C-alpha cells in the first residue's frame, strides 16, 4: 500500500507538472462551460445537471486518454520501466498507483465543474440528491475511463498511439454501440445497451439508483486494470 501511495504521489506530481495535462484540462473545462451555457443556461433550459453531465461523459471519451496516455508508455519509452520493475514493487502496485494518480487529477478537474452547479442553485432550484448522485456517477465513469486509458498506455511506448487506442476503446463502448443499437434495433438494442457506458451513465445523470450500473462501472474498471497488469507483465517478459 505504501508503494501505491508513493507511485500515486509521483504520478500526480507528474500530472501537475505536465503542460499536456493543463491544456487538456483547459480544453475540457471550456467545452463543458460552453455546452452548459448553450444547453442549460438558456430560456426554457432544464434546471438540472443532467445535460451537463451527459456532455461531460461524452467529452471525456476524447479527453481522458490524453491524460492517461503518458503513464506507462513514457516509462517504456524512457526506459525507466526497468528501474521501476526491478525495485521491490509488484506489477499490480504499479498499475494501481498510476490509476489512482490520474484519477485524483481527474477528481480535481471534476471539482472545478461544481461552479456550474452553484450557478444552477443561484438561478433556479435544483435537486441536491440528483446532483450528488450525478457526481457519484461521474466519479465511477471517470474511474472506468482512466482504467481504459492506463490499459491503452501499457500497450505501447508511443503516447500518441496510447491516446488513440484509448479513444478507440472508449468510443466502441459509447458511440459505436450506440450507433449499432440504433441501426439494428430490437433485441440488439437491449444487448448492446448492457455494454454501453453512456447508457449506464444515463441512470446516474437522471438520478436513478440502479445497482446494475454501479456494478457495471466497478467491474469494468477492475477488468481493464487487470488487463493492464497482464499486458505489463507480458511486455516485460517478451
Partner 1 sequence: MTKTFGNLRAVDGISFTIEEGEIVGFLGPNGAGKTTTLRIVTCYMPATSGSASVAGHDVFAESMAVRRLVGYLPENAPLDVHMRAREYLNFRGKIRGLDRAARESAIKRVTDLCWLGDFIDRPIHQLSKGMRQRVGLADALLHDPKVLILDEPTIGLDPRQIRETRNLIRELAKRHTLLLSSHILPEVEATCERTIIITGGKIVASGSPSELKERIRGGSRLFTEISGPGAEVKKAVSAVSGINNVNCESDNGWQRLTIEPEKGSDPREAIFKMVKEKGWTLRELRLEVGSLEEFFVQITAGQMQEVQS
| Contacts by 160-164, CB closer than 8 A, 24 or more apart | 160/69, 161/73, 162/65, 162/68, 162/69, 162/70, 162/72, 162/73, 163/65, 163/66, 163/69, 164/65
Minimum gap (Å) between residue 10 Cβ and partner 1: 5
Interface residue with partner 1 among 1, 42, 88, 186 (CB under 8 A) is: 88
| Nearer of residues 18 and 39 to partner 1, judged by Cβ | 18
Binding pattern to partner 1, positions 25-64, x when CB under 8 A? Answer: ----------------------------------------
Burial of 140 by CB count in 10 Å (0-12 exposed, 13-18 middle, 19+ buried)? buried
Query: Please, is 37 exposed, middle or buried when counting C-beta atoms within 10 Å of its C-beta (0-12, 13-18, 19+)?
Result: middle
- Cα–Cα distance for residue pair 238/231, rounded to 1 Å: 11
Binding of residue 104 to partner 1 (CB under 8 A): no
The minimum distance between CB 24 and partner 1, in angstroms, equals 17
Nearer to partner 1, 2 or 212 (CB): 2
Nearer to partner 1, 212 or 238 (CB): 238
78 binds partner 1 (CB under 8 A): yes
- Shortest reach from residue 86's CB to partner 1, in Å: 5
Residue 186 makes CB contacts below 8 A (sequence gap 6+) with: none
Q: Kindly state whether residue 12 participates in binding partner 1, applying the rule CB under 8 A.
A: no
Q: Tell me: does residue 3 bind partner 1 (CB under 8 A).
A: yes
Alpha helices in the chain (DSSP H): 2-17, 19-39, 50-68, 70-78, 80-84, 91-112, 114-123, 128-154, 159-171, 177-184, 186-194, 197-206, 211-237
Note whether 210 binds partner 1 by CB under 8 A. no
- Which of 38, 90, 112, 219: binder of partner 1 (CB under 8 A)? 90
Contacting partner 1 (CB under 8 A), which of 43, 86, 186, 212?
A: 86
* Cβ-based nearer residue to partner 1, 38 or 78: 78
For residues 175 and 152, the answer to whether their CB atoms sit within 8 Å is: no
Q: What residues line the site for partner 1 (CB under 8 A)? A: 2-3, 5-7, 9-10, 13-14, 17-18, 78-80, 82-90, 236-238
Amino acid at each position: 500500500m505504501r508503494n501505491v501511495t508513493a507511485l500515486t504521489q509521483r504520478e500526480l506530481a507528474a500530472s501537475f507538472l505536465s503542460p499536456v495535462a493543463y491544456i487538456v484540462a483547459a480544453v475540457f473545462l471550456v467545452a463543458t462551460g460552453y455546452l452548459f451555457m448553450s444547453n442549460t443556461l438558456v430560456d426554457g433550459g432544464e434546471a438540472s445537471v443532467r445535460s451537463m453531465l451527459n456532455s461531460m461523459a461524452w467529452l471525456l471519451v476524447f479527453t481522458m486518454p490524453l491524460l492517461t496516455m503518458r503513464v506507462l508508455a513514457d516509462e517504456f519509452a524512457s526506459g525507466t520501466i526497468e528501474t521501476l520493475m526491478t525495485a521491490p514493487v509488484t506489477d499490480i502496485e504499479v498499475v494501481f498507483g498510476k490509476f489512482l494518480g490520474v484519477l485524483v487529477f481527474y477528481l480535481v478537474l471534476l471539482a472545478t465543474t461544481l461552479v456550474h452547479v452553484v450557478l444552477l442553485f443561484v438561478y433556479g432550484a435544483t435537486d441536491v440528491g440528483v446532483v450528488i448522485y450525478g457526481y457519484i456517477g461521474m466519479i465511477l465513469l471517470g474511474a472506468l475511463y482512466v482504467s481504459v486509458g492506463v490499459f491503452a498506455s501499457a500497450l505501447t511506448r508511443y503516447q500518441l498511439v496510447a491516446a488513440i487506442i484509448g479513444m478507440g476503446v472508449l468510443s466502441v463502448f459509447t458511440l459505436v454501440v450506440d450507433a449499432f443499437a440504433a441501426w439494428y434495433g430490437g433485441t440488439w438494442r437491449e444487448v448492446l445497451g448492457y455494454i454501453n457506458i453512456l447508457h449506464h451513465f444515463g441512470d446516474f445523470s437522471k438520478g436513478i439508483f440502479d445497482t446494475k450500473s454501479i456494478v457495471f462501472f466497478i467491474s469494468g474498471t477492475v477488468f481493464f486494470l487487470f488487463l493492464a497488469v497482464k499486458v505489463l507483465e507480458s511486455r516485460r517478459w517478451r
